[in-house]
Structure 1
């Protein structure tokens, strides 16, 4: 493609606002915005950014909870030809400062309550020209609404001219090792991703649909929202930053929500909340979960409660979510444990350590190529050389594909441990432990062992009102999986450590075990 011209991704909003101007675009708490109103606000913000000196390719850092402003900043950056650099709002000031300086952001837009984050960024970043605050601007900061009100609305078709390879979004990956890296997403590649999401995850989406946003817009939920805007479906935000299943189910009923993007831990919390039975959720057609594999027992529970509407996909920020999909009709026993088949237009292969393709059912590294693969990590040649070795993007995940092309993830390369010379993939033990009726959540990690090199410790969380003990879990596993795959110890916790995205990072589990002196 080289430097071929591309549609500015911001045109998705422009086109929808022209087609269905009076329809509802966004709902947040008691407020709602039509497509025409949202587009007009975005246009003013794009002008305001240009007035602040933001040029084509400049980075704009946005530190915000899910709000209308968070939504607006994405589209304004796209239209201005700038690069949207959203952060996970749970990050500390020091972490956000690293993102600001490594991206060389020229403007920071922050949500109310994050003055400390902005102060830290201002102190450390020589490139920053302005800080815009939503609601509580202090000295040296500009007020978001004042800025919008003062901007002169632009003429029609003011969107910046862009090339296929021009960046529009720095998607910071949490990364299992070292500092977060900016995955560069481009206007051209994102047009494919949006099309692919609509084709494979939620076919048939139109302006008659509604989407519930339960995850941070800074990451996967933001990509999901792009597809809603492209089709004119309304996005419904939760009122507060704390996830409340009862509120979520009330919104599903009120807005006849047809799709939502979530992660397995959140989906399981929704399914187990008593509110699920108090509200009509028959409108749900595509309940999409990704970000981590969902255990079979939890899947069955969700299917029993919600009906055949579960859509699983496997993807990383670097492939913008587009690796495999398991449709609702594919959630059948034959596919138990699978995260689905390759996404339309994408190729997935299991590669051995020498880079050659492995035959069906052999475990190796999951690698992928196709138009959804990102442009590379920003200014990180070493990481790019490793990630793109041999012409494939290397996910760092291990898995196998069956003869039909269905993928089964066995774990992250970094999760696997070697016990007594055998490779142990914690997921197998976790799946088995979760079939115990008293266990709600589970994570197993390999810890140093004097005899075996490493051995498994399983951390389990009991279901509310139930008790579970080490002996009972070990007895439950005895005939279910091979001895070498079983944990040697089981600890009972009231909760598992979770990342800002609701995942359970194994390094956090290990750190807590070490802190509590649990080992062999």
Structure 2
């Protein structure tokens, strides 16, 4: 019998009165191995399409069979309980199959970002103790692997052929027209073809999994110190967060939805909020390996997805796409935005253009990642991060005293507890102790709970600017700068100042073709920001550095800025 996690019973929480009808915040959440998601979906919807990759359609029964064969193949390669297997893959059938095959073999998934630097990849492979790495046969991937060498304990690279993932005749066209894109793979014992994993070795050997104790994924956060920080996400935590998301989508129909998978699965938002959520729903995953707005719009029109998760920059790019009215986007019903704050005007515009319901959420890697979301039935509060998911407790503590709980409406640090929390940081007890306190995760985000129990994120604690003794929230400064009609984007950071302690430096991206001057912008800001919120320096840029999912990387704007906490979050302004 599965064990389950039950929410605390100490009094009624402020958000319970705002919960969607029929959804109980206190319903226990089962603790199960994460790979059970596919088994459960296969039992319920065996003939439903699970994966669609450029027309290659694979049912849940077929997907489950491929996972079993790949799991046994990995075991034949020596992957056992706790063995680390890295994935260096874009969204494609291999990424879904390999992910769950690793878990079923008893291993631990190490998600790697294909766009990461050589140094970052080497650090993460070595730090995690990765022994096997799975990737594609494409030149960009192997150029990085060649530069990497064989760091740490890495002993085997499994190579999947892109052409094998495509349907006929696209696979033949790919082999003929894209030969230059295919890498020349060494023929040696260190390199293994993914086809070999799928050879019929029999059923995978059963592995006893303790869901609450056993890691399923090592997810590396973006850091400021250069030291890799691997978040240990357990089977129980990831399964719980997937079920929490599944319950939250109150209007979703099991076995009938189609989920557009644009967010990369190597990112925690895409892993849980797209891939595993879709599997829990028995939905069809429409896989796109890259972010291309035109391709996204064409795919929506042709494939008719019903659910779509993205980041504000992606929703903005769609809303601003030329001749958007030429595309039929009417199939979209339920959309989620994470990774950064969603401007209320963008939410309104996207909903008007598509007819879809767009809800903003919040989370962070250490919470697997989803913590709160606006409801799909009930009050959707623009500008808020929504209500805590089932079983998730959100509290606000004083910035200067973690033991002091603050009442609704007061601003402090956001603290989270729930079944989806990480076990800790891999081989980093001091960082774990700093972040986790008696089962509570200190997020490093500044926010408050309103009278209805909705969470509002004010800023990131490490981004708070203290200038002349005054606290300045960069998001406040950025929001006002972006109100100027000639501003496309903006970021505000604090930099050392011998007099004030910190000075405000604003980086501004003007609209294309704009001749916006510093004097004109300062005149605009003067009546809209208080005296101590006015930037001391304004620097114009053609673009701002962003992460894979569109989060502004402030550490890259001023590299010498002091580091501090390097946790990656799904939204204050993350992601």
- TM-score normalised per structure 1: 0.90
Give the secondary structure class of the aligned counterpart of 1:124: coil
Of the structure 1 ranges 272-281 and 299-308, higher mean CA displacement relative to structure 2 is found in 299-308
Residue 148 of structure 1 corresponds to which residue in structure 2? 197
Residue 430 of structure 2 corresponds to which residue in structure 1? 382
Q: How does 1:470-485 map to 2 (within 5 A)?
A: 470-485=518-533
- Quick one: structure 1 residues 18 and 370, their matched pair in 2 at CA, closer, same or farther if it must change by over 3 Å? closer
Residue 249 of structure 1 corresponds to which residue in structure 2? 297
Which residue of the other structure, out of 119, 123, 127, is the alignment partner of 1:102? 127
Which residue of the other structure, out of 323, 336, 340, is the alignment partner of 2:386? 340
Residue 132 of structure 1 corresponds to which residue in structure 2? 158
2:61 is the counterpart of 1:15? no
- Quick one: structure 1 residues 433 and 308, their matched pair in 2 at CA, closer, same or farther if it must change by over 3 Å? farther
- Give me the whole-angstrom Cα distance separating, in 2, the residues matched to 1:391 and 1:54: 32
- Give me the whole-angstrom Cα distance separating, in 1, the residues matched to 2:37 and 2:48: 15
Write out per-residue CA displacement over residues 123-166 of structure 1, whole angstroms, 9 at most, x where no aligned residue: 322x33321112343243434343134232427xx653311221
Conserved? CA contact 1:202–1:259, under 8 Å: no
The alpha-carbon deviation at position 20 of structure 1 amounts to 2.5
- Give me the whole-angstrom Cα distance separating, in 1, the residues matched to 2:282 and 2:389: 23
- Quick one: structure 1 residues 391 and 315, their matched pair in 2 at CA, closer, same or farther if it must change by over 3 Å? same
Residue 299 of structure 1 corresponds to which residue in structure 2? 347
Residue 468 of structure 2 corresponds to which residue in structure 1? 420
Residue 280 of structure 2 corresponds to which residue in structure 1? 230
- Give me the whole-angstrom Cα distance separating, in 2, the residues matched to 1:320 and 1:74: 16
- Quick one: structure 1 residues 144 and 416, their matched pair in 2 at CA, closer, same or farther if it must change by over 3 Å? same
Which structure has the higher relative contact order (CA within 8 Å, separation 6+)?
Answer: 2
Of the structure 1 ranges 351-360 and 83-92, higher mean CA displacement relative to structure 2 is found in 351-360
The alpha-carbon deviation at position 465 of structure 1 amounts to 4.1
Give the secondary structure class of the aligned counterpart of 2:327: coil
2:200 is the counterpart of 1:175? no
2:347 is the counterpart of 1:320? no
The alpha-carbon deviation at position 450 of structure 1 amounts to 4.7
- Quick one: structure 1 residues 505 and 228, their matched pair in 2 at CA, closer, same or farther if it must change by over 3 Å? same
- Quick one: structure 1 residues 251 and 270, their matched pair in 2 at CA, closer, same or farther if it must change by over 3 Å? same
- Quick one: structure 1 residues 94 and 205, their matched pair in 2 at CA, closer, same or farther if it must change by over 3 Å? farther
Of the structure 1 ranges 386-395 and 52-61, higher mean CA displacement relative to structure 2 is found in 386-395
Residue 273 of structure 1 corresponds to which residue in structure 2? 321
- TM-score normalised per structure 2: 0.82
- Quick one: structure 1 residues 296 and 430, their matched pair in 2 at CA, closer, same or farther if it must change by over 3 Å? farther
- Give me the whole-angstrom Cα distance separating, in 2, the residues matched to 1:454 and 1:321: 32
Which residue of the other structure, out of 16, 35, 60, is the alignment partner of 2:60? 35
Residue 398 of structure 1 corresponds to which residue in structure 2? 446
Conserved? CA contact 2:158–2:194, under 8 Å: no
2:142 is the counterpart of 1:115? yes
Residue 22 of structure 2 corresponds to which residue in structure 1? none
- Give me the whole-angstrom Cα distance separating, in 1, the residues matched to 2:307 and 2:206: 29
Give the secondary structure class of the aligned counterpart of 1:414: helix
Of the structure 1 ranges 146-155 and 360-369, higher mean CA displacement relative to structure 2 is found in 146-155
Conserved? CA contact 2:509–2:543, under 8 Å: yes
Give the secondary structure class of the aligned counterpart of 2:233: strand
Residue 516 of structure 1 corresponds to which residue in structure 2? none
- Give me the whole-angstrom Cα distance separating, in 1, the residues matched to 2:111 and 2:36: 20
- Give me the whole-angstrom Cα distance separating, in 1, the residues matched to 2:481 and 2:504: 13
The alpha-carbon deviation at position 2 of structure 1 amounts to 9.7
- Quick one: structure 1 residues 375 and 507, their matched pair in 2 at CA, closer, same or farther if it must change by over 3 Å? same
Of the structure 1 ranges 497-506 and 34-43, higher mean CA displacement relative to structure 2 is found in 34-43
The alpha-carbon deviation at position 211 of structure 1 amounts to 1.0
Superposition RMSD in Å: 2.6
Give aligned pairs, total.
507
- Quick one: structure 1 residues 201 and 428, their matched pair in 2 at CA, closer, same or farther if it must change by over 3 Å? farther
Which residue of the other structure, out of 461, 478, 482, is the alignment partner of 1:430? 478
Conserved? CA contact 1:201–1:325, under 8 Å: no
Conserved? CA contact 2:333–2:355, under 8 Å: no
The alpha-carbon deviation at position 17 of structure 1 amounts to 2.5
Structure 1 segments, 4+ long, off by >4 Å, are 1-6, 119-122, 328-332
Write out per-residue CA displacement over residues 280-336 of structure 1, whole angstroms, 9 at most, x where no aligned residue: 11221221111222233433433332345111111001011232112356676xx44
2:401 is the counterpart of 1:354? yes
Write out per-residue CA displacement over residues 243-292 of structure 1, whole angstroms, 9 at most, x where no aligned residue: 21111011112222111221112221122112532211122122111122
- Give me the whole-angstrom Cα distance separating, in 2, the residues matched to 1:153 and 1:459: 58
The alpha-carbon deviation at position 69 of structure 1 amounts to 1.1
Give the secondary structure class of the aligned counterpart of 1:150: coil
- Quick one: structure 1 residues 489 and 94, their matched pair in 2 at CA, closer, same or farther if it must change by over 3 Å? closer
- Give me the whole-angstrom Cα distance separating, in 2, the residues matched to 1:324 and 1:312: 9
Conserved? CA contact 2:375–2:387, under 8 Å: no
2:263 is the counterpart of 1:215? yes
2:213 is the counterpart of 1:163? no
Write out per-residue CA displacement over residues 404-443 of structure 1, whole angstroms, 9 at most, x where no aligned residue: 2222212111111111210111101111222222222111
Write out per-residue CA displacement over residues 7-49 of structure 1, whole angstroms, 9 at most, x where no aligned residue: 3321221232343233221122242222222222221110110
Which segments of 5 or more consecutive residues in structure 1 lack a partner in the other structure?
A: 514-520
